[in-house]
Structure 1
Amino acid sequence: MNTTKFTLQNYVRSCILKSKNQNPIRLMLYPNTKFIDIIKLIQIVWRQNVQQLRLFLIDGTEIEEQDLINIKQGTIMFTQLKNDENELTNLKLDYDIIKRVGEGGQGVVFLGKHKGTKQLVAIKKINASNQQDQALETLEQESLILKQLDHQNIVKLYEKFVCSKQKEVIMILEYLYGGSLLTQANSKLTEIEAKHFSHQLVDAISYCHQKNIIHCDLKLENIMLSSLSNKKIKIIDFGVSNYAGQPLVKENVLGTLSYLAPEVLSNSIKYIQPGQDIWAVGCIIYGLVFGKLPFDGNSTSETYRNILQCNYQIPKKCVSKDIINLLSLIFVVNPKDRANIYDIQSHNWFKEQSKIFKLNINGVNLRIGRSSSVVKMQSLRKSNDEDQGQVMSQRKIGCSRRSVTRLDKVSFLVKNK
């Protein structure tokens, strides 16, 4: 009996809730207390129409819902209440919007400045007011994922504002002004320089995969230099990211065709898999080394065919044997046989400088590929575009985030039977 009383005294705790311009509330915390219970209490006592709640200790540490069980008797907790009016007011009070700097598949990005610190930020507005069937939780996916990521090569999320009435999520992100890696991928980039960028990319994706997070839209345009004065990269745009094992909605695959893995195009997988990112990482490394993308063709159907059959070439250029080997481990049709991100990290190409040699192929591109389903490559196209090594993704195929629909796939496969 005494043990029961002792347990209750430890788990039922009296705490204090404080907020600006409000009288303190005495809060009783039980083992099963949830944020929704605290929100209901606040709505009754403070008469606030609260939609979201954040709790902080006096030292600024944020309290998550699972941390409530560890809150001690007499603790003072500070609240940050969220509703549409407060969110918009806070945004306007804290930030100035300078100009519009970009637009993606989910929203618009503005350059902003914090009024107090004068720090430049990227303000991303994601709006789905015209998409009645899209829940607000889906809109918040990017911010929920970014909140879990803390890596030097991944863009930082500072704040987010949720406006449920407008079905809008506003994210305050680290501002990157060095341009995308697309501008770096050209024939003038040396293999050593390409390796420097690729190493950072692989480290960041390894970090994501450790947390079961799959980016799902890796491409040169989604990797930014943090500034013009250094070569540090940051991965951006986690708008279509998801967790490994989540269902893959084949009818509306989001991504950019030139970077999509064959299993995504062929509908051979049912769930999000790390191999999708691995294939895209290979495309990015290839683009940095050779100045063009490996599977781009003269038409959409040719690009489809090259990806599904794993047809790619090693252009005439002085490259190391290690990079050729690395690409052969990545560009494998069956994702079960494809290298994982840890295989790539430990590959010889990322160790000490590899010996560079010139391919002795007498002007004919060497075809590389491990899949038995790969057909013979067509003869070399003697175009100036390949010799100049320009990134072929600049010949835009659809919009920047292209939706590859089931209809696209069916029409292509029927045509090529």
Structure 2
Amino acid sequence: MESNRVNVFLNGDLNKKCEVTVHGHMTLSELVSDCKEKLDVDSHTKCKLFDSGGGELSDDDLDYLNPDEPLFLSRGEEFSKDSSILVYEPIKQLGEGGFGSVWLYEHKINKNLAALKFVPLDSLISADDVNRVYAEIGVLRGLRHPNIVQLYDAFPLRDKICFVMEYCGGGEMQQYLEEHGPISEDELYHIGCQMVEAIKYCHDMKIIHRDLKLENILFSNDSKTQIKIVDFGIAGMFAGAHSERSDAGSLLYIAPEVLTKEDNRANPVLDIWSIGCMFYYLLSGVHPFEYETQEEIIRKIVNCEYQPLPNTVSRPWHKLIRGILRRNPRRRWGSLRIIEHLYKYRFERDASLSPESEEERSPAINEPGKKSARPGKVLKVTAKPMEQGLHNKKIETHSPRKKDVRKNSKK
């Protein structure tokens, strides 16, 4: 191991710190003695060293120390949970909601910016709430993709849980659309490829997001060219017939089979449906199934009733939306086919469209045992199963009414 300079703080007191050199063949006992001398701690005091997450160090850990991560010297007491947060300097609040608050912080040592999300412990009312928080931590720790927000650390404080995450300075896509109007098709090809590739990566890792929506798509920075997917709080694991079940989600983006109780297992097709809803909004400025009442929204989704895209939108997007927004999940396009379609027409705008089947031209899919619909007609599917049990479901029923971004596009 090569020599590294590491910052060491006195546990619970960041006003006392020192810098030590960790070199090859150094023992933990030697490192502790060096820290005690520099921090003016009695040499006879039995001390421990902790990393920033509260893990006690051993001799084996010295080979893997990160010079950007501080250590904490304890004089025998347990690790102070507040020590982890003290290495960050608050700058400003970024947002607040039912989940807690998000703040922009700067790391005092390496000066990197990070977004810290604080989830109050008293907001975790049920066991499901607790499981959701720790499930999100578990999922994000295992994901490494340029279009998925990175979790740097997570640790408990006295009255809250803190997520230390990659800072996305470009803000929410939803907010950007409300302020600046719709993005161009050129931009959407670029952003759409990032979005679908990130979700394909999740699916390859057997992770289903389950809550894809424009509010959970952030821009990495002010250039608005790179997106990051966030909020894996209700993500589920895909395991075929044994996949996790849940009715949770945001209503405008929930697939029809969940609303009709046909199948609420974690499955890639759920995220594909949500992607179709986002693409539709980005192309038209309105949600495909938005209506005044929750009951009407549910009816439109389960019947797959939506207005065709405006004629001003180029034909490849029409075909893409028809391929994704299909009531029968077995007939929805998969992520690979969507990616191939996006890349083909991003770089070959004049490429001819392949012939479409009658099935692709109809918003609804004929299913076994059901009467066939005439071309252009929509099969009617009852929404009663979902409506009858709605009060028991953890569903975000309404986002605040959004402005029609088509009316706000800048000239």
- Aligning the two structures, in what range does the TM-score lie when normalised by the shorter sequence? 0.5 to 0.7
Is the CA contact (8 Å cut-off) linking 1:153 and 1:232 kept in structure 2? yes
Q: Which runs of 5+ in 2 are unaligned?
A: 1-26, 35-45, 353-360, 368-372, 379-386, 394-411
Give the match's secondary structure for 1:346.
helix
Q: 1:315 offset after TM fit, Å? A: 3.4
Preserved contact between residue 278 and residue 341 of structure 1 (Cα < 8 Å): yes
Deviations 1:334-364 (A, max 9, x none): 212222212212225654243499xxxxxxx
- After superposition, the Cα gap between the structure-2 partners of 1:346 and 1:294, relative to the gap in structure 1 and judged at 3 Å, is same
Match runs of 1:10-409 below 5 Å: 21=32, 53=55, 57-60=61-64, 85-92=79-86, 94-131=87-124, 133-134=126-127, 136=130, 138-163=132-157, 166=159, 168-185=160-177, 188-245=182-239, 246-250=243-247, 253=248, 255-347=249-341, 350-351=344-345, 352-355=347-350, 369-372=363-366, 376=377, 406-408=389-391
Report if aligned partners of 2:49, 2:72 keep a CA contact under 8 Å in 1.
Answer: no
Structure 1 residues 261, 137: closer, same or farther in 2, change over 3 A?
Answer: closer
Against the structure 1 CA distance between its residues 328 and 218, is the aligned structure 2 distance closer, same or farther, given a 3 Å change threshold? same
Between the aligned partners of 2:233 and 2:163, the Cα distance in structure 1 is 11
Q: CA deviation at 1:48?
A: 10
Give the alignment's TM-score, normalised by structure 1. 0.66
Offset of 1:175 from its aligned partner? 1.1
SS of structure 1 residue aligned to 2:114: strand
Aligned-pair CA distance for 1:305: 1.1
Match of 1:31 in 2: none
RMSD: 3.8
The one-letter code sitting in structure 1 at the alignment partner of 2:218 is: M
Residue 190 of structure 1: how far off its partner (Å): 2.0
Q: TM-score, normalised to structure 2's length?
A: 0.67
Distance 1:334 1:235 in 2: 26
Change in Cα spacing, 1:84 to 1:330, as seen in structure 2 (3 Å) is farther
- Check conservation: 1:110, 1:123, Cα contact below 8 A: yes
Using the TM superposition, name which of 281-290 and 132-141 deviates more. 132-141
Please say if residues 32 and 47 of structure 2, whose CA atoms lie closer than 8 Å, have aligned partners that are also in contact. Answer: no
Closer, same or farther: CA 233–17 of 1 in aligned 2, 3 Å: same
**Aligned pairs, how many?**
320
Q: Which amino acid aligns with 1:113?
A: E
The separation in 1 between residues aligned to 2:252 and 2:323, in whole angstroms, is: 18
Quote the Cα distance in structure 2 between the aligned partners of 1:138 and 1:152: 24
1:333 partner letter: R
Q: 1:345 to 1:21 in 2, by over 3 A?
A: same
The structural deviation recorded for 1:184 is: 4.5
Partner SS state of residue 329, structure 2: coil
Q: CA deviation at 1:141?
A: 1.5
- Are the aligned partners of 1:54 and 1:79 in contact in 2 as well (CA < 8 Å)? no
CA offset digits 1:92-122 (Å, max 9, x no partner): 2x01223322124433211211122332211
- In the alignment, structure 1 segments of 5+ residues that lack a partner are 1-15, 24-44, 63-77, 358-366, 378-403, 411-417
Q: Structure 1, residues 64-113: CA drift from partner, whole Å, max 9, x if none?
A: xxxxxxxxxxxxxx9999x9852312212x01223322124433211211
CA contact (8 A) 1:18 1:79 kept: no
Compute the displacement of 1:60 (Å). 1.8
> Deviation digits for residues 244-280 of structure 1, max 9, x if unmatched?
1342134xx2x21111111111111142111111101
Gap change, CA 1:139 and 1:98, over 3 Å in 2:
same
Moved more, 177-186 or 284-293: 177-186
SS of 1:123's partner is: strand
Identical residues among aligned pairs (%): 31
SS in structure 1 of the partner of residue 318 of structure 2: helix
Contact 1:101 1:109 in 2 (8 A): yes
Partner of 2:399: none
Which shows bigger deviation, 207-216 or 318-327? Answer: 318-327
